[in-house]
Structure 1
Amino acid sequence: MNCIKTYDTDLLSKLPHLKLHPNYLPHIGLKYNEARAKTFIIAESHYLPKKHNNLFSTDDWYNNPISIYKIIGDDKAWFDTRGVIKHYKEQQGKKLPKGFGIFNNLEKANEEIGSEIKLFEECVYLNYFQRPSEVEGDSINIHEIDSKTALENLIVLSEVLKPNKIIFVSSKAYNDFMNHASKEQKEKLPYVGSVPHPSASSWWNRKSKKYGINGTSVTGKEKFQRIMTPKI
């Protein structure tokens, strides 16, 4: 836990955005430092409950968050990354809410390749875009500041946490990263790959050549497992 506090101090000092929105600090597994392959799992975005749909401007989110927090009150828990993962872990063994399908499918896929440690005990998890989407359950409408802030956030997280691999589980987030990161920025990062969304995309369980190698067809889940399997 002390190492996580040290990471937090470093991240908050380097990312002004996280000072405004500390709920966006990434989930860091307690066994992350011991993991054979330190892995970032990156999804797309949080969202707020329906009553807040389309109420907040992008500008206010990044520059005047006090005005937003006064309105949303306790609903800020909806974009508390660590709180969301904590809640998911507390629900294991029970009937999971639909929104937790992404976490459950990722952990099951990781277990199938023989991992004895729960995925979220040893990975870093975050949403790429550092702002909730405008509508509950919908994909975010990307603005230039979203792309800029998300990329800056990822670069600093990588510098501080030093992952060995980065896996996007959102094509929208991955494509935005690929379109905005410079060649130099990409070269400073470790392996970066992507797989289809584990619960929202049918391609998680459907085969395609774009997920395989050497012309083979595999599912999105199998690609994830290939990336996660330790290389001897």
Structure 2
Amino acid sequence: MYSNTHYENYPNLKPWVGSKYGQGRTKKLLVIGESHYLPKGSTSSLNIEKWYSNNQNDLTDTEKSWINTSGIIKKNIPTNFPKKSHWIYRNVAKEINEAFFGYTNSADILDHVAFMNYFQRPAENEGDSIKVHSLDLKMSEAIVTDVIKTLSPDLVVFCSAKAGEYGAKVVRNLGLECVVAPHPSSQWWNREAKKYGGLGREVIPKFLVKRKWSELA
């Protein structure tokens, strides 16, 4: 499916693709976050070159679970992501769901989208933002390009200002429309800013309504 070897080395990093992605009356939507991070005390992602040359067999079972994008989403949809560390999914789903389907459990909206992280190496410290290096940028651009060619999204939204800073131009160079929102766990999610044209949490639903992501708006 994907042509990059990075996903062969780290299959847990493959994007989540909802069972209803691009089906029915919705366009194909790819949501891009920032990065995973590993448990406190882990050193597996500190050596950048080693991270990209190794594979997930070198990780502990706990570390593997922390970077399992699809596993995290699938496990937590029924309970709407109760852990604060997973509220990126919860908060994004809430805003999209309110603008469109109106599911009782807003997390069910994730069945209609694909999700990946832009950076393909976990952040250095638990709960922190990744310190971006040139190799991260090279790998991220190649892998996001591969994912977009494979999943053929119609629209892309970034739920991380840092991911969007580097990734928006990659997406637009591929001929796709995208928008950049602040990270859902940052202070800007619930604050107004001129660059967002209102509250940070309004950026994604406004974009999707305007681009008619679903007929159910």
TM-score category of the 2 structures, normalised to the smaller one = 0.7 to 0.9
Runs ≥4 in structure 1, deviation > 6 angstroms?
A: none
Q: Determine if the alignment matches structure 1 residue 31 to structure 2 residue 16.
A: no
Identity across the alignment (%)? 32
Corresponding residue number in structure 2 for 1:78: 66
Residue pairs, 1:65-214, within 5 angstroms? 65=55, 69-92=57-80, 96-116=82-102, 118-178=108-168, 181=170, 186-199=172-185, 201-212=186-197
Query: TM-score of the superposition, structure 2-length normalised?
Result: 0.87
- State how far apart, in whole Å, the 2-side matches of 1:158 and 1:54 are: 28
* Richer in helix (by share): 1
- State how far apart, in whole Å, the 1-side matches of 2:52 and 2:21 are: 30
54 and 20 in structure 1: CA distance in 2 versus 1, 3 angstrom threshold: closer
* Structure possessing the higher radius of gyration over alpha carbons: 1
Cα contact 2:33–2:160 (8 A) shared by 1: yes
Structure 2: unaligned runs, 5 residues or longer: none
Question: In the alignment, which of 222, 228, 232 is matched to residue 202 of structure 2?
Answer: 222
- State how far apart, in whole Å, the 2-side matches of 1:154 and 1:84 are: 20
Structure 1: unaligned runs, 5 residues or longer: 1-9, 213-217
Query: TM-score of the superposition, structure 1-length normalised?
Result: 0.81
* Shift in Å, 1:82: 0.5
Corresponding residue number in structure 2 for 1:3: none
188 and 71 in structure 1: CA distance in 2 versus 1, 3 angstrom threshold: closer
Corresponding residue number in structure 2 for 1:63: 53
Cα contact 1:53–1:136 (8 A) shared by 2: no
Question: In the comparison of the two structures, how many residue pairs are matched?
Answer: 207
- State how far apart, in whole Å, the 2-side matches of 1:125 and 1:161 are: 11
- State how far apart, in whole Å, the 2-side matches of 1:147 and 1:162 are: 21
